[in-house]
Structure 1
Amino acid sequence: MTTTVTARNRAKAQRTDAILVAAAELFGARGYSSVSLEDIGAAVGISGPAVYRHFAGKQALLGALLIGVSEDLVAGGTAVVQGAADERTRMAMLVDFHVDFALRNADVIRVQDRDLAHLTEESRSDVRRLQRAYVGLWIDALSALVAADRDELRLRVQACFGLLNSTPHSTSAALRTRADTSRVLAAMAIAALTAAHG
């Protein structure tokens, strides 16, 4: 009996993950308002009403998507910070972590940029809280390398995110591989973060 329940739970979790991936792709391509639960269900081989077995509705699905990604960023960033040997390595590892995120999650970044307003007030508050925590990790790391107050450090970090998160809106076709793209973005990010005062 336990094996059956575990297998059923695992299958449900896999379907939930597939729905989130499909929602990110569809919301990213067409926008939240232009996608129905039927569209999302069809993308994973189920009916629209069957999506309700996993999420209370389309808005709840959007919330789960953006909150989940924000939680992953905070958890991953925290692990990077705790695992770095020194200040410069910590900053470089955070940049590499976010570059990898940006290149793997272009759809989610588009959704975040365009559809955050469609979240419930509670979900939007959760996303903002998690974003502040993630930015805080970067500010703390950068403060060891740049002599500036927190307002300036925050400006540098947010400008760096603007650079890295713009990648879904451009193409790296001119570069040969994703590794090349990652190298260029990481170098630009470090240069922007640590640029000397004018």
Structure 2
Amino acid sequence: MTTSPSSEQPPRTRRGQAKAARRAELLEAAARLMAERGFAGVTLEDIGRAVGVSGPAMYRHFSSKTDLLDQMLVDISQRLHDGGAEVVGRDAEPAQTLRDLIGFHIDVLVTKPDLITVQDRDLTSMTAAANHQVRSLQRRYVEQWVDVLLALARDRGVDLTRAEARVRVHATFGLLNSSPRLPAFGADDLRSVLTTMAWSALLA
């Protein structure tokens, strides 16, 4: 598997820990600003200013705004893929695994809505190599869901092709990933509504 731009060894020194914390802070600010203004409407200086970092100091963390976007979107794609793999690796019954996948995905949506917005809108602004890596991670994440949905269909005696299962998963992601654009709603209530809708869409 291709190494993520952010796949570094855990920082062992106090200085390394501080740099990692600052990087995370910058990525969070970048996601917020890009979700509000779009990739083209934000500069590295804007992002640095949001967390009290000077423009030149930004280049200690990212070589360019595009490099920052690459790292941000590879990070979230890797997180989804790895989280999905962890859920599937529990070897629970297919119905429970699918519920856990839905819950995991919704947790990411509720806690990282800005990242989901940027990923949905600004994928084409990435470098070709990072874009390829993100799409590869996304495809493998989808197939994790497809495998579980097919297993559940077999358990229930439902004739479901892999092609249709994939369409159902993609359609469900479209439903879930629209949540940052929904009217304001409490986080717990939103989880409940999205969980019910996702389950119904997958098994409709």
Name the counterpart of 1:72: 79
Contact 1:24 1:108 in 2 (8 A): yes
In the TM superposition, structure 1's runs of 4+ consecutive aligned residues that sit over 6 Å from their partners are: none
Q: Does 1:188 align with 2:200?
A: no
Name the counterpart of 2:61: 54
**After superposition, where does 1:29-40 map in structure 2 within 5 Å?**
29-40=36-47
Aligned residues: 188
Q: Does 1:116 align with 2:123?
A: yes
Name the counterpart of 1:141: 148
Name the counterpart of 1:164: 176
Could you report, residue by residue, the CA deviation over 1:44-68 in whole angstroms, capped at 9, with x for unpaired residues?
1111121110111100000000000
- Give TM-score, length-normalised by structure 2: 0.89
Name the counterpart of 1:87: 94
Shift in Å, 1:101: 1.0
Shift in Å, 1:107: 0.7
User: Aligned AA for 1:34?
Assistant: G
What is the alpha-carbon distance in structure 1 between the residues aligned to residue 21 and residue 13 of structure 2?
12
- Give TM-score, length-normalised by structure 1: 0.92
Which of 94, 100, 105 is matched with 2:107 structurally? 100
What is the alpha-carbon distance in structure 1 between the residues aligned to residue 63 and residue 70 of structure 2?
11
What is the alpha-carbon distance in structure 2 between the residues aligned to residue 48 and residue 70 of structure 1?
27
Name the counterpart of 1:179: 188
User: Aligned AA for 1:27?
Assistant: M
What is the alpha-carbon distance in structure 2 between the residues aligned to residue 163 and residue 104 of structure 1?
17
Could you report, residue by residue, the CA deviation over 1:5-48 in whole angstroms, capped at 9, with x for unpaired residues?
70100100100111110110011110000000110000111111
User: Aligned AA for 2:70?
Assistant: G
Shift in Å, 1:84: 4.5
What is the alpha-carbon distance in structure 2 between the residues aligned to residue 181 and residue 68 of structure 1?
24
Unaligned stretches of 5+ residues in structure 2: 1-11, 154-158
Shift in Å, 1:179: 1.4
Percent sequence identity is 46
User: Aligned AA for 2:177?
Assistant: N
Unaligned stretches of 5+ residues in structure 1: none
What is the alpha-carbon distance in structure 2 between the residues aligned to residue 10 and residue 106 of structure 1?
26
